[in-house]
């Protein structure tokens, strides 16, 4: 598998992401600068976390219109795999490659803590490392993670099994209106979604930061083993 990680001015989790891929594949993904205008030859493009362009205007808004995102869009339209984490998820929604938008956290506070996620997505390489319904721990670190979309869009995402991950308790219970469980106030506790062809995935929390025992756990590893098994 040849993976590329896009770096915008203000991106800061690209090395964490590269390390997670190194752990499962032994190979280091290539870093791609945002001014590059093609991503040919890659199997997977990753948009990592950070604060691209200082989060000015709206989180991810400026990055969504950078030269490399035109190339990433073409790549995705041809069936390429794209993963966006945190700011990467925000960029994918701003680029309208994923539905919905990420608003300011409902409690207004930047949230830097662990959360629990339930695996709900079906038929996707981004969830195949887990069993449907599994619960895992993941760190989160964001100010704008409050997922929103029109009710009919949410219905459609749910109906098509395109809600990849939801916030839940350690025991796997969802509580939409409980700020200790659905901490950022996301609609229907949605933490991650899939595109129509299931090859583009965005999520707010950071599985890449729990991929080695030295990081206090390997709860996030199945994201990467699932991708590896699918793409070789």
Distance CA 217, CA 221 (A): 9
Q: Does 4 bind another protein (CB under 8 A)?
A: no
* Region of 100-108, 120-128, 133-141, 159-167 interacting with another protein (CB under 8 A): 100-108
Q: Does 103 bind another protein (CB under 8 A)?
A: yes
Distance CA 10, CA 168 (A): 30
The footprint of another protein on residues 158-187 (CB under 8 A) is 185
Q: Catalytic one among 86, 115, 168, 201?
A: 86
Rule CB under 8 A: choose which of 11, 52, 87, 93 binds another protein.
Answer: 93
Q: Which two tokens stand for residue 226?
A: 């699932």
What b-and-e string marks burial along 103-124, b requiring 16 or more CB atoms within 10 Å of the CB?
bbbeeeeebeebbbbbbbbeeb
Total residues in contact with another protein, by rule CB under 8 A: 21
Secondary structure element (H or E) that encloses residue 148, with its range:
strand 146-148
Residue 201 annotated in active site = no
Q: Does 209 bind another protein (CB under 8 A)?
A: no
User: Could you report how far apart the first and last alpha carbons of the chain are, in Å?
Assistant: 5
Rule CB under 8 A: choose which of 2, 27, 65, 132 binds another protein.
Answer: 65
Report the phi/psi class of residue 108: left, alpha or beta, with left for phi > 0 and alpha for psi in -120 to 50. Answer: left
Which residues are annotated as catalytic?
86, 206, 208
* Residues of the shown chain interacting with another protein in the complex, contacts defined by CB under 8 A: 57-58, 61-62, 65, 93-94, 96, 99-101, 103-108, 146, 148-149, 185
């Amino acid at each position: 598998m040849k993976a590329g990680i896009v770096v915008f001015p203000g991106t800061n989790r690209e090395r964490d992401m590269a390390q997670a891929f190194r752990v499962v594949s032994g190979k280091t993904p290539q870093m791609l600068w945002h001014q590059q205008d093609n991503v040919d030859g890659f199997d997977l493009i990753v948009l990592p976390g950070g604060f691209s362009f200082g989060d000015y205007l709206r989180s991810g808004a400026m990055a969504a219109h950078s030269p490399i995102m035109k190339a990433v869009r073409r790549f995705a339209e041809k069936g390429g795999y794209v993963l966006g984490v945190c700011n990467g998820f925000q960029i994918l929604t701003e680029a309208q490659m994923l539905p919905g938008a990420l608003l300011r956290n409902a409690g207004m506070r930047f949230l830097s803590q662990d959360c629990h996620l339930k695996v709900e997505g079906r038929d996707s390489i981004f969830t195949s490392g887990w069993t449907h319904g599994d619960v895992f721990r993941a760190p989160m670190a964001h100010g704008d993670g409050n997922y929103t979309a029109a009710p009919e869009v949410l219905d459609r995402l749910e109906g098509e099994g395109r809600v990849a991950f939801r916030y839940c308790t350690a025991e796997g219970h969802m509580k939409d209106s409980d700020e200790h469980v659905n901490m950022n106030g996301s609609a229907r506790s949605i933490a991650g979604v899939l595109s129509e062809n299931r090859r583009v995935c965005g999520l707010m929390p950071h599985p890449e930061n729990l991929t080695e025992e030295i990081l206090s756990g390997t709860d996030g590893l199945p994201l990467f083993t699932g991708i590896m098994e699918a793409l070789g």
